[in-house]
A and B are shown apart, each in its own frame.
Chain A
Amino acid sequence: MKALPGSFDSRAEAALADPSLQKALANFKPLFVAKRAAAVAELPEFERLRDAAAGIKDAVLCELDVWLERYADKVESLGGKVHFAKDAEAAREIIRDICRKAGARTVCKGKSMVSEEIGLNEVLEEDGYRVVETDLGEYIIQLAKEPPSHIIAPAIHKTREQVADLFAQNHPGRPREDSVAGLVNEARHALRERFFQSDVGITGGNFLIAETGTSVIVTNEGNGDLTQTLSRIHVVTSGIERVIPTLDDLSVFLRLLARSATGQDTECYTTLSTGPRRPGDVDGPEEYHVVLVDNGRSKMLAGRFRDMLRCIRCGACMNHCPVYGAVGGHAYGWVYPGPMGSILTPLFNGLAETYDLPNACTLNGRCQSVCPVRIPLTDLIRTMRNEQVKAGLMPASQRRMMAAWGWVARQPGLYRALERLGSRMMRLRAGRRGALSSLPGAGAWTEGRDLPAPAGPTFIDQWKSRGREQ
């Protein structure tokens, strides 16, 4: 996916001024948070599961090459084909090639963030395939020609009314539906036809199991199952970091994923796929491909952001992020929004192009406190700021201010004098009102709130003049 036009600031301002979006966000915000909290409260071992999951991921990342080889060997021994793609373009070419050789016309897709990351739909549509997103949220935004705004709830920014309008435009000959159940039914009806026509079914891969050569997807709609069982060819797209050793390990992650994501004990469908159809099997694809996408991930292995490769894409960080809750996912400008995106997007798309992302964060730590694989998200966001500083990306004005402040702060006498001066000036300006409604140089503060004025001379001055007794 190409980055969205405009700056973070302009997209965020537009989001704040969009009443439908604000309504959708207000509906969504409390939902996942409360559900997760309730689900976690019912599972006393949840914290230990988080430790275990982080440990499994860390162990795999220590020898990722070995696990990838084991996984690939197993898949190929079962008749599947594993493709390694070093970047987005390579991944797109591999999949285009599969579709071309299959003589495909219709390509159905289960939800896959990696396919968004590599910008797959655009090229397949250019090649003339009918590409159908089958996850309800993805289907909605495909009709709206918008990118996802959340990794597990891609159309969370849309209100029910907007979806009803969209369906009415795109499903001619059907009466307008307004209820949620009616809309879901309408989508199901439209999609069912497509499933039967599908030549190539593309899904993501939540987990890849080395021991058995299995790919695992979890969904709530069953669309992933239909995509992969009704298509002649099944293509799994996944990041290289998704491999885990065994089925036992999978059970650890499955207990964490749904609870962290939606607050469900488990998703409605957990589907394990192992190889193509064997002689005697009643169903399954004729061909089974796995496209393992690197796209910058192996570089992360060696750097300060390695912990980010533990991510299982549950979305808990954005569900709990108050900035995401205020502006929604599109403000972040690319596939991965919220805290995880503020780390991944700079790594994938460049630090300079994404300067705002790690800065538009209050470092409040809520994301980190809920991450099922204990990624120190807040620390990594701050580390990303340090990378920006080291790359000379901090704006010159801010750099000068920081340097001047730093110099003064190391001259205690001068620091005191300036504090004293500032205090006096603000008190003079405030009079007895106790607060300032404007202050030269502090416009960004006072545009939305008053500035409480200093209540008397500085503490240290008073402390000294009172002889340190009172």
Chain B
Amino acid sequence: MSQAKRPRVGLLATCLMNVFRPNIGFSAVDLLRAAGCEVAVPDSQTCCGQPAYSAGDDELAGRMARQLIEQFEGYDCLVSPSGSCVGTVRKYPQLLAGDAQWAPRAEALAARSFELLSFLVDVRQVDIQARYPGRATYHDSCSGLRQLGVKRQPRELLSKVDGLELTEMEDAEVCCGFGGSFCVKYPKISEKMVDDKLRSIGASGADTLLGGDLGCLMNMAGRLKRIGSKVRVWHTAEVLAGRTDGAAIGEEESR
């Protein structure tokens, strides 16, 4: 697939991105095209089933998995700007292991599914031509980091952004307290965790927070906004694609 001259990529438009941050989707399309891919956005896609899978509802998660496999198995690969959604797709083989018909299809799709930032380094090379004047710190979202090994790839890509200085925060690899439904089931604990994260962001001296998973970014941006912080929050893809003219995540539009 990686050898294919112009691979056909099916973009998994995650639920959160689709509703809250379309700019990430367009950034992903730009970057994938710059990496020589043909991009399609399957119309019928809905959700990878992560909420059901995380809640332990394997039956429903399995049904969602079968639906998504059907929608995406016709492409050379599936790419998504979210470590946790791709992490879920990578769990499909385990989820459908008892199903002789679907297990091999799950295996085949999981093997061709990639998180966007690691795809742009490990599978396809991309020429980054973006400028972002600012001092940014990077939060390693847990699913991407620990399920998919996304760590060095975003940093490698960000090092090519003109004007951007990356400064590491303490505990960059510690959960921000989002955790999907965790943050609404245990809001007080989540708040404590995100406050710890905000302290690390503050101590880093960064004016910008970047990451690779919108759920985590919305959690941190929402808390930053609540306490009146001026730190700007972007998905890494937005910065890499140079789509940072508008408002950052949770920011007022007038800016």
The segment from A44-52, A103-111, A166-174, A383-391 found at the interface with B is: A383-391
User: Are A458 and B253 in contact, CB atoms less than 8 angstroms apart?
Assistant: no
Interface size of A by CB at 8 A reads: 67
CB 8 Å contact bits of B14-50 with A (1 = contact, 0 = none):
0101111111111000000000000001011111010
Which of B51, B173, B185, B250 has the most CB atoms of chain A within a 10 A radius of its CB? B250
Give the number of chain B interface residues (Cβ < 8 Å): 72
> Is B44 in contact with A412, judged by CB distance below 8 angstroms?
yes
Nearest B residue to A385 by beta-carbon distance?
Answer: B56
State A403–B15 Cα separation when bound (angstroms): 17
What residues on B are CB-neighbors of A387 within 8 Å? Answer: 56
Q: Check B226 against A13 for contact (C-beta < 8 Å).
A: no
A352-373 with Cβ < 8 A to chain B:
359-366, 368-369
Contact call B19/A458, Cβ cutoff below 8 A: yes
Q: A12-B189, A362-B179 are in contact. Are A435 and B56 (CB under 8 A)?
A: no
Measured CA separation A458–B16 after assembly (Å):
10
Instruction: Tell me, in angstroms, the Cα distance from A360 to B189 when the chains sit together.
Output: 9
- Check B254–A362 contact: CB distance below 8 A: no
B51 to chain A, nearest CB (A): 7
Name the B residues within 8 Å of A326 (CB-CB).
189, 192-193, 196
* Contact yes or no, B173 A463, CB < 8 A: no
Chain A 316-327 near chain B by CB (<8 Å), digits 1 or 0: 000000110111
A423 and B187 form a contact (CB under 8 A): no
Contact at B22–A457, with CB atoms within 8 Å?
A: yes
Most B C-beta atoms less than 10 A away, residue of A383, A423, A459: A459
Contact A366 B142 (CB under 8 A): yes
Interface residues of B in 202-255 (CB under 8 A from A): 218-219, 221-223, 225-226, 246-247, 249-254
Question: Could you tell me if A459 and B17 are in contact, using CB atoms closer than 8 angstroms?
Answer: yes
Give the chain A neighbours of B226 by CB distance below 8 A: 437, 448-450
With both beta carbons as reference points, the residue of chain A lying nearest to B21 in the complex is identified as: A455
Q: Which of B59-67, B102-110, B118-126, B152-160 contacts A (4 or more CB under 8 A)?
A: B59-67
Chain B residues with CB below 8 A from A445, complex form: 183-184, 187, 222
B63–A410 contact, CB under 8 A?
yes
Beta-carbon contact of A432 and B252 below 8 Å = yes
Complex interface: chain B residues within 8 A of A462 (CB): 22, 26
> Known interface pairs A406-B60, A449-B194, A449-B223. Does A455 touch B246 (Cβ–Cβ under 8 Å)?
yes
Inter-chain contact B13/A459, CB cutoff 8 Å: yes
B25 A463 Cβ-Cβ under 8 A: yes
Is B249 a contact of A448 with CB atoms below 8 Å?
Answer: no
Pick the residue among A12, A450, A468 that contacts B222 (CB under 8 A): A450
Cβ-based interface call for B174 (8 A): yes
Kindly state whether residue A415 has any CB partner on chain B within 8 Å. Answer: yes
Task: Please tell me which one of the listed residues B15, B43, B56, B221 contacts residue A452 in the complex, with CB atoms under 8 A apart.
Answer: B221
Known: A362-B142, A364-B179, A402-B51. A450 touches B225 (CB 8 A): yes
Chain A contacts with B in 1-34, Cβ cutoff 8 A: 9, 12-13, 16
Q: Which of A366, A402, A437 contacts B174 (CB 8 A)?
A: A366
Q: Does B52 contact A (CB under 8 A)?
A: yes
Q: Which residues of B contact A346 (CB under 8 A)?
A: none
Say yes or no: is B2 at the interface (Cβ < 8 Å to chain A).
no
For B21, the chain A residues whose CB sits under 8 A away are 452, 454-455, 459
Asked if A447 meets B187 with Cβ closer than 8 Å, knowing A326-B193, A365-B146, A409-B64, the reply is: yes
Residues from chain A with Cβ under 8 Å of B57 in the complex: 386, 389, 394, 402, 406
A451 beta carbon closer than 8 Å to chain B:
yes
In the assembled complex, the CB of B34 is this many whole angstroms from the nearest CB of chain A, namely 14
Query: Which chain A residues numbered 419 to 468 have a C-beta less than 8 Å away from chain B?
Result: 419, 422-423, 432-435, 437, 442, 444-445, 447-460, 462-464, 468
Task: Tell me whether B1 is interfacial, beta carbon within 8 Å.
Answer: no
Q: B: which residues have CB within 8 A of A?
A: 13, 15, 17-26, 41, 43-47, 49, 51-58, 60, 63-64, 67, 142-143, 145-147, 173-175, 177-180, 182-194, 196, 218-219, 221-223, 225-226, 246-247, 249-254
Additional A-B contact list (11), CB under 8 Å, known A363-B179, A365-B142, A402-B52: A12-B186, A12-B188, A362-B179, A363-B142, A432-B252, A435-B221, A452-B249, A455-B247, A457-B22, A459-B24, A459-B25
Interface residues of A (CB under 8 A from B): 9, 12-13, 16, 322-323, 325-327, 359-366, 368-369, 382-389, 394, 398, 402-403, 405-406, 409-410, 412, 415, 419, 422-423, 432-435, 437, 442, 444-445, 447-460, 462-464, 468, 470
